[in-house]
Amino acid sequence: MRLLMYSKALYSTWIYYSADRILFDAGEGASSILGNKAFAIRRIFLSHGHADHISGLIGLVNIRNNAMGDKEKQLSIYYPKDNYLISEMMKFISRTNRRLDYQLEWVPVEPGDRIELLSGQMPRYVEAFPTVHVHNEVSLGYNVVEVRHRLRPELSGLSQEEIVQKVRTDGRDAVSESYHQKLFSYGGDSVGIKPAYVADTEVLCHDTTFLDESDRKEYKHATLAEAIACARDARVKKELYCVHISSRYKAQLKKLSAASGHYDGLDFKVTLIPPGRIYVVD
Ligand SMILES: [Zn+2]
Ligand SMILES: [Zn+2]
């Protein structure tokens, strides 16, 4: 299981990214659906403070203290700095959980901040980027990024032997260069994300509250066309997951699954996450 998600606009959104044990947003029902996996979560990244993205925090913090499982593991919650609603939730949880068996850490984040996940040969980090949602609240999206190494493009014509020889004479850095590969991007609630923020990501989760532009009355969420345009312009490599779909489209569920798949001219697969259903990506 790579991803476990639940997303229904206005009600609840959360996405569990198992590779790095991260929960992106924590809408209602997260702990009851995740069950024992709630203990696996190391970090929670919150996009903004609306109830449908943070109301599951109360259950998650509590269950890790009370249910059977490893209660020693620290839990870190990252949130947009100066977000009023999340600050209030933080105060409530702190006051009502004075004696936790594990360490609970709240970390304010600003656009551009990097949070290290792994060090070593292939370091990984989460990077925050700004999103546009509502005017009176700070909101963020997040990229999971891996630092990788590749042959310098100017040396691509060399044979294996020539490369080995060059490493011997000039060292490894003369032959390889590092690059930062985005593995997963989550935009939270937002109008169309600026493609530069999620450029070349492998997997993008984009707000798709509206399938039809004419249903959008206020400019604070994205449409399916905008989600696809963002993914195309960002050159998404593998998958676009359209999340936060309004339940008004529930009657069209069959049409939704028909709309998922490979589109002509796009390099990535488009999947519409049906509102109100648990969705697993293996
Ligand atoms: Zn929402
Ligand atoms: Zn929202």
User: 15 CA distance to ligand 1 centroid (A)?
Assistant: 13
User: 151 CA distance to ligand 1 centroid (A)?
Assistant: 42
pLDDT of residue 121: 84
* Residue spans of the chain under pLDDT 70: 253-258
pLDDT of residue 65: 87
pLDDT of residue 258: 66
pLDDT of residue 73: 86
Separation CA 159–CA 171 (nearest Å)? 17
Separation CA 32–CA 201 (nearest Å)? 31
User: 48 CA distance to ligand 2 centroid (A)?
Assistant: 7
Is the separation of the CB atoms in 230 and 199 below 8 Å?
no
User: 13 CA distance to ligand 2 centroid (A)?
Assistant: 10
Exposed (0-12), middle (13-18) or buried (19+): which is 161, by Cβ within 10 Å?
exposed
pLDDT of residue 253: 65
User: 120 CA distance to ligand 1 centroid (A)?
Assistant: 36
Look up residue 125 and give its two tokens. 């980090």
Domain boundaries, the chain: 3-281
User: 179 CA distance to ligand 2 centroid (A)?
Assistant: 33
Q: Of 3.60.15.10, 2.40.50.100, 3.30.365.10, 3.40.50.720, which CATH number belongs to 3-281?
A: 3.60.15.10
User: 69 CA distance to ligand 1 centroid (A)?
Assistant: 30
The continuous run of DSSP H or E covering 140 comes out as strand 140-151
User: 125 CA distance to ligand 2 centroid (A)?
Assistant: 25
Phi, psi of 231 (to 5 degrees): -65, -40
Contacts of 178 (CB under 8 A, 6+ apart): 147, 148, 149
* Residue corresponding to tokens 């339940």: 247
